[in-house]
A and B are shown apart, each in its own frame.
Chain A
Amino acid sequence: MTKYITVIGLEVHAELKTKSKAFCSCSTEFGGAPNTHICPVCLGMPGALPVLNEQVVEFAIRAGLALNCDIKYFNKFDRKNYFYPDLSKNYQISQFDKPICLNGYIDVDVDGVEKRIGITRIHMEEDAGKLVHSGGNISTSDFSAVDYNRAGVPLIEIVSEPDMRSAEEARAYLENLKAILEYTDVCDCKMQEGSLRCDANISLMPEGATEFGTRAEVKNLNSFRALVRAIEYEVERQKEILENGGRVIQETRTWDDANGKTLSMRSKEEAHDYRYFSEPDLVPVELDDAWVERIRAELPELPAQRQARLIAELGLPKYDASIIVSNKAMAEYFDEAVKTTKDAKGIANWLLGDVSAYLNNEGITISEFKVAPAHLAELVNLTKEGVLSSKLAKKVFAEMLKGDKSPKILVRELGLEQVSDEGAIMKLVEEILAENPQSVADFKAGKERAIGFLVGQIMKKSKGKANPTMVQAMLKEKMQ
């Protein structure tokens, strides 16, 4: 049977975090009552003219530099023509043949294997408005209304090379890209709100083939899970067609998340002819070298650099470091926490373990996590110093989630300090030994397990506060 190679390229639209829109001064704020963030420019009124927001260019350059692109010092806008009610001018101001960035890449790591994914281009453009259907969807609605609040919100479109060969590579690319856009603070990357949107071009080719197969473009992928599932679905769908001697047709498909499948939207024949031409209302963008260099100099630490730092300077395992840096807010939390503890691995364990579990459970992000980084560090320190056993630490952590009390205060309030006082522990050991002669005899007869029972009894008696290491050591010493 023929083996097929999957070929994937991604087109990612990222809404830029500018305060005002790309070509007017309206707010870009998400939400808002319909048609409250609009003006003659957003509405395409006669005589309205676009004026480029300089911040859009700055953000596009910043993203381009972070994605290792060549910045094009001369770039220009074009009109992309198509009719749709949410597109007020019935053309979108975009960049066609002279985009602002070319030839970038992202290095990704899938199962320990490094791979470089090329970025063909990044261009700037404006978003469209939104249709609000009176019914559940467009076909069952009596009417639709248009909300132009989003019309003119700036986007960058980041087009990858068809360099990915699996859903996992695509996922890794998108995760890395998202992290870079977050680190550079150009996009808030909320896939659910649509501020980061992804389309995937997917094709199959027989192993050994030199030319790519016919691709399907899948739209509406608004989560990592949707991306992975859609690719897996498409691979199976196309494989079945090819194995039955059929031909995949070039078309645009949409991901139906509820039913877990892709559906045909339009074929190549029905594809739009966008009739691009230079936007005569705007002058070409000519970048100043000093500007680009200033942006380059101001680039923040990027995920790859941060990961290297966490490994080299703080001794984190690569796995821990990669997960922490993939989320900017978590990485910042981590950096804040390690300011007050030397136990970086301890912080990482909490973040990757109980903290992540809690966040997932609550359905919140680390930005909404109430426990202060310094408090988590204090908890790690208390454990490290032997004040708290790991079991009690979890108990304290549970209390920390309920308010903003520091672990030290909670330990005191709950009376949970671990007893590491030799005299006090010896007293407990002696009491338990006296109460359990049978176990002492068992131990002396060579039953090592008996010591476990005795430790358990002491911990019970001390309400978990006795330092278990000391208890173990002193029991052994006493029974020898």
Chain B
Amino acid sequence: MDLFKYTAHELHEKLVNKEITAVELVNSVYARIDEVEEQANAYISMSKEEALAQAEKVDAKIAAGEAIAPLAGIPVVFKDNINIAGQVTSCASKMLDGVSAIFDAHATENLRKEDAVFLGKANMAEFSIGNTTDNSFFGAAHNPWNLDCVTGGCATAAAVAAGEAIWALASDTSGDLRQPAAYAGCVGIKPTYGRVSRLGLAAYASSMDQIGAVTKDVTDAATVLNAICGKDDRDSTSWAVETPDFTQALVADVKGLRIGVPKEYFGENVDAKIKAEVEKAIEQYKELGAEIVEVSLPHTQYAVRTFYVIANGEAGANFARYDGVRYGYRNMEAQSASDMTARSRNEGFGEEVKLRLLFGTHVLSKGYYENYYVRAMKVRTLIRNDFEEAFKQCDVLLTPTTPVLAEAYNTEMDAFAKYELDFTTVTANLAGLPAITVPCGMVDGMPVGMQLIGKVLDEATILKAAYTFEQATDFHKAMAPLGGNK
């Protein structure tokens, strides 16, 4: 039985009905990994023993007639920047290769309580820097829809689409959860900033980093949010609010829902083929009874530059701890502490990371701080205000998740053009808003995602809108063929 093909909620039913065991399930997924991993390169490390032990525990509970949590026994892959105590968190960097986490992330703790089964760690862009995995110390991952295409900023969604995991725990700073989910035909949700504790997530840009889920459908996304959200006293930026039961939002009904379509997300810089698919989705919503409202988010054009100034500034400080002193890569030839740090960082970080650190150092330096960092913070406020204004006219916003298809990365692009491709996703990070991507079409055999952005803490509405669309379409059921020349 190809158990890896099912969603988490389907598998939960099968476990509870004793049609399958958790051990069979995890073995099925590992067998699939054995089959396709050579092509996909979605994994950095695996924890088969721990996974089997977790699965056995779940089977024992079921055998004993105990109730199990919705994610119990369901195999999950973690992006390799989220801590699992005792396992390496490499961030796909030479700098942290072999460095074991000594504590669980808050989300990991929560998933342990659920008895989830931890498969291993997924490939990613080094320290989440970049919108492809080309700079991973462990080699690039490949898109299961076309192995010649990129997976996007991490391989979590690729792993899910290839059947190498049932769902994935990932992080999103600039769209690096949603963009890969879109490219893999998955659902990806980035909750409101502060919904999920950042404890145990290796920081990139602390004011925007957020843990979320990549799943096969919206029901699974809501189920995962139920497990991982919640106030954590160890993260000062986590929201002190009750976590609602997100599965309550799984109602197929958008009658009267006001969906805002921001014109800035449908301009020249968006691939016409993607626009066509997203516009079809808009039509679909109309048919389903939603009200479509054209809105404007005028500062969108500054979003990427604003993001890069802030994110690189924060990253410059966040990555300063990787100095070869306490853990991680160390140059052994250096003759002084400062030389050791300089050489360790020069050799331990990849080129793009170093470029970003120089950028981040520059924008915070004396004489530049006012012009770059302070100004970016002001624009960030304007971007937030844009959303506030728009949400006076609508309940959710609908946009393409990505402006280009995955194959666009196969053509030569200069670095800044590449950065600009994040404009559809970084705005939700800058404003701290919840956003979900759901598959909404196919172009040239590759999935296309549409994004729904919600108000602060209003994951329920985007889940409901996404669920309604999903119930009316079949895009989420398509399987990645693992084709291509690779």
Contact = CB atoms under 8 A, between A and B. Distances in A.
Contacts of A283: 236-237
A277 to B, nearest CB: 6
Nearest to B103: A40
A275 interface: yes
B206 interface: yes
Interface stretch (A8-16, A43-51, A202-210, A380-388): A43-51
Contacts of A79: 317
Interface string B303-345: 0000000000110110011010111000000000110010000
Interface in A265-302: 273, 275-277, 280-283
Contacts of B199: 47-49
B326 A44 contact: yes
B325 A146 contact: yes
Nearest to B208: A280
Contacts of B89: 46-47
Contacts of B101: 45-47
B321 A51 contact: no
Contact of B83 (A44, A46, A273, A280): A46
Contacts of B379: none
A85 B236 contact: no
Contacts of B365: 273, 275
Contact of B317 (A52, A88, A277): A277
A81 B320 contact: yes
A233 interface: no
A81 B366 CA distance: 12
A52 B320 CA distance: 21
Nearest to B323: A90
B201 interface: yes
B358 interface: no
Interface centre among A48, A144, A275 (most CB of B within 10 A): A275
Contacts of A47: 82-83, 89, 101, 103, 105, 198-203
A83 B96 contact: no
A85 B314 contact: no
Contacts of B235: 49, 51, 281
Interface in A73-96: 79, 81, 83, 85, 88-91
B167 interface: no
B102 interface: yes
A470 to B, nearest CB: 75
A282 B206 CA distance: 10
A83 B236 contact: no
Contacts of B364: 81, 275-277
A46 B96 contact: yes
B327 A45 contact: yes
A83 B338 contact: yes
Interface in B65-102: 81-83, 89, 91, 96, 99, 101-102
A79 B205 CA distance: 13
A283 B337 CA distance: 33
Contacts of B373: 277
Contacts of B320: 81, 83, 89-91
Nearest to A281: B206
A49 B198 contact: yes
Q: Is the interface of A mostly helix, strand, loop or mixed?
A: loop
Contacts of A280: 205-207, 237, 314
Nearest to A45: B102
B317 A49 contact: no
Interface residues of A, number: 29
A44 B237 contact: no
Contacts, number: 104
A85 B91 contact: no
B309 to A, nearest CB: 11
A283 B194 CA distance: 11
Contacts of A146: 325-326
Interface in A85-109: 85, 88-91
A81 B369 CA distance: 14
Contacts of A48: 103, 199
A79 to B, nearest CB: 5
B123 interface: no
Nearest to A131: B337
Given A52-B236, A283-B237, A88 B337 contact: no
Given A88-B321, A90-B320, A282-B236, A46 B202 contact: yes
Contacts of B392: none
A150 B201 CA distance: 25
Nearest to A41: B234
Contacts of B236: 49-52, 281-283
A275 B198 contact: no
Interface centre among B101, B235, B326, B365 (most CB of A within 10 A): B326
Interface in B127-166: none
Nearest to A91: B317
A52 B313 CA distance: 23
A43 B341 contact: no
A108 B156 CA distance: 65
Interface string A23-57: 00000000000000000100111111111100000
A44 B327 CA distance: 10
B255 to A, nearest CB: 39
Contact of B337 (A43, A46, A144, A275): A144
Interface centre among B96, B236, B314, B366 (most CB of A within 10 A): B236
Contacts of B325: 85, 88, 146
A85 B205 CA distance: 23
Interface in B157-199: 198-199
Nearest to A143: B337
B198 to A, nearest CB: 6
A40 B102 contact: yes
Interface centre among B199, B205, B325 (most CB of A within 10 A): B325
A85 B323 contact: yes
A275 B83 contact: no
Contacts of B341: 83, 85
Contact of B323 (A81, A83, A273): A83
A350 to B, nearest CB: 53
A146 B313 CA distance: 27
B366 A273 contact: yes
Nearest to B366: A273
Contacts of A90: 317, 320-321, 323
A267 to B, nearest CB: 16
B268 to A, nearest CB: 34
B361 interface: yes
B10 interface: no
Nearest to B320: A90
Contacts of A282: 236-237
B389 interface: no
B233 interface: yes
A360 B81 CA distance: 58
Given A51-B236, A280-B206, A85 B337 contact: yes
A366 to B, nearest CB: 42
Contact of B237 (A275, A277, A281): A281
Nearest to B206: A280
A80 B323 CA distance: 16
A119 B478 CA distance: 69
A44 B321 contact: yes
A435 B485 CA distance: 131
A48 B326 CA distance: 14
Give the 8 A-B CB pairs with smallest separation, nearest first.
A90-B320, A46-B202, A275-B364, A280-B206, A280-B207, A44-B321, A47-B200, A89-B321
13 contacts: A45-B102, A47-B83, A47-B103, A85-B325, A88-B325, A144-B337, A146-B325, A277-B313, A277-B373, A280-B207, A280-B314, A281-B237, A283-B236
Interface of B: 81-83, 89, 91, 96, 99, 101-103, 105, 198-203, 205-207, 233-237, 313-314, 316-317, 320-321, 323, 325-327, 337-338, 341, 361, 364-366, 369, 373
Given A277-B317, A280-B205, 10 more contacts: A43-B327, A46-B89, A47-B89, A48-B103, A85-B323, A85-B341, A144-B337, A273-B366, A281-B237, A283-B236
